[in-house]
């Protein structure tokens, strides 16, 4: 499959076959890394890593993924650039595109990453925006495949803030590849109705189901319960109000039992507020694949770079 020259901004832009190809490629690259086999797909390439928001997993995954394949990654803090302030994002994109072979962007406004892709002339990869977090969804899909041997027909239930970038990306990615996806959240934190409708269309085509509910019964039959912090970066002032709203959707031992399966996994995109969206015992349990998924950020991000920029 040829994805050369493509940007990776949101899963809406990719077919089910393309998403699954990236998951398979990540699995292959992970196996090679375990055996100590390094690639040369990005040899001689220069990659810009733009971070307006702080990061552990995304920054490390892009840096190590690039190095493993022979590229040089240059970290650029958002505060060090003229992003949309003294210089338009379009002009910054045109400058960076003449110096770098690929650009990663992690920040706030999704329009910024779209503009970078439009004007830079090189592949641009979304490390997170307020609306989408597509690399996280790929890591989730790889983690599911490793644990169950397949992806299609599984069920994920995402609990808590159903409007955030991880929930949006899981809705989009899962519905496209035939994973049943449910959002369990208070009505005030439900995802955008148009997005849900769009994803239901993809799910119908893929033979799966999209559900949005404020009832916890929706966890029945889940293969994975998934959650995230109840307030995203920049929303700290809403902590008290959001905690009160979302507390009934905390992932705890009782909720894990309500799935009716002893094979149900727990995951989280990290960082976690243990004791809030998830209890410490579930987070640290043998059913937790949180750190497997964190590692899989590296392999899926590497796959994205190799597929879109590699030789």
82 is in an annotated binding site: yes
Catalytic residue of the set 68, 161, 223, 228 = 228
To the query of whether residue 269 is one of the catalytic residues in this protein, the response is yes
Measured in whole angstroms, the distance separating CA 17 from the mean position of its chain's CA atoms is 18
Which residues have CB under 8 Å from 254's CB, separation 6+?
none
Closest C-alpha among 20, 9, 27, 10 to residue 302: 27
Q: Write the CA distances from 176 to 129, 213, 262, integer angstroms.
A: 21, 20, 27
Give bridge partners of residue 72 from the DSSP assignment.
46
Catalytic residue of the set 6, 68, 106, 242 = 106
Catalytic residue of the set 6, 133, 268, 299 = 133
To the query of whether residue 133 is one of the catalytic residues in this protein, the response is yes
186 is in an annotated binding site: no
213 is in an annotated binding site: no
270 is in an annotated binding site: yes
Closest C-alpha among 152, 109, 115 to residue 131: 109
Segment (H or E) for 112: helix 110-120
To the query of whether residue 136 is one of the catalytic residues in this protein, the response is yes
Q: Residue 59 has which token pair?
A: 């920054």
Edge-first strand listing for the sheet containing 155-159: 210-213, 180-184, 155-159, 224-227, 265-268
To the query of whether residue 228 is one of the catalytic residues in this protein, the response is yes
Catalytic residue of the set 137, 174, 199, 269 = 269
134 is in an annotated binding site: yes
Catalytic residue of the set 6, 136, 250, 299 = 136
98 is in an annotated binding site: no
Catalytic residue of the set 110, 268, 297, 299 = 297
33 is in an annotated binding site: no
137 is in an annotated binding site: no
- Please state, in angstroms and rounded to a whole number, the distance separating the CA atoms of residues 156 and 168: 13
- Please state, in angstroms and rounded to a whole number, the distance separating the CA atoms of residues 50 and 120: 13
58 is in an annotated binding site: yes
Contact 44, 120 (CB under 8 A): no
- The dihedral built from the CA positions of residue 94, 99, 103 and 105, taken in this order, carries a sign that is negative
232 is in an annotated binding site: yes
Contact 103, 50 (CB under 8 A): yes
228 is in an annotated binding site: yes
Q: Residue 94 has which token pair?
A: 């045109």
> Within 13 A of 88's CA, how many CA atoms are on the CB side?
6
297 is in an annotated binding site: yes
57 is in an annotated binding site: yes
Instruction: Tell me the binding residues for L-ornithine.
Output: 165, 228, 232-233
Active site positions, annotated: 106, 133, 136, 228, 269, 297
Binding residues for carbamoyl phosphate: 55-58, 82, 106, 133-136, 269-270, 297
- For the annotated binding site, the residues are 55-58, 82, 106, 133-136, 165, 228, 232-233, 269-270, 297
């Amino acid at each position: 499959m040829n994805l050369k020259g493509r940007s990776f901004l949101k899963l809406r832009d990719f077919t089910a076959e393309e998403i699954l190809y990236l998951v398979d490629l990540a699995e292959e690259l992970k196996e090679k890394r375990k055996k100590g086999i390094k690639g040369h797909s990005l040899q001689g390439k220069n990659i810009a890593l733009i971070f307006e928001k702080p990061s552990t997993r995304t920054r490390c995954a892009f840096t190590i993924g690039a190095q493993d394949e022979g590229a040089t990654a240059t970290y650029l803090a958002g505060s060090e650039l003229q992003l949309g302030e003294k210089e338009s994002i379009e002009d910054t994109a045109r400058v960076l595109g003449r110096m770098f072979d690929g650009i990663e962007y992690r920040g706030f406004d999704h329009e910024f990453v779209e503009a970078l892709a439009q004007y830079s002339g090189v592949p641009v990869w979304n490390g997170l925006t307020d609306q989408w977090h597509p690399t996280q969804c790929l890591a989730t899909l790889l983690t599911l495949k490793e644990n169950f041997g397949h992806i299609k027909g599984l069920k994920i239930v995402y609990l808590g803030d159903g409007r955030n970038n991880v929930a949006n990306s899981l809705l989009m990615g899962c519905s496209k590849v035939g994973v049943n996806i449910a959002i369990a959240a208070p009505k005030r934190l439900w995802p955008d109705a148009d997005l849900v409708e769009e994803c239901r269309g993809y799910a119908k085509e893929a033979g799966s189901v999209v559900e949005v509910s404020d009832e916890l019964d929706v966890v029945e039959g889940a293969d994975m319960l998934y959650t995230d912090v109840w307030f995203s970066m920049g929303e700290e002032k809403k902590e008290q109000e959001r905690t009160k709203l979302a507390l009934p959707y905390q992932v705890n031992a009782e909720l894990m039992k309500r799935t009716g399966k002893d094979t149900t996994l727990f995951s989280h995109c990290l960082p976690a507020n243990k004791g809030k969206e998830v209890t410490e015992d579930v987070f640290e349990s043998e059913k937790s694949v949180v750190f497997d998924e964190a590692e899989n950020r590296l392999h899926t991000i590497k796959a994205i770079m190799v597929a879109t920029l590699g030789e």
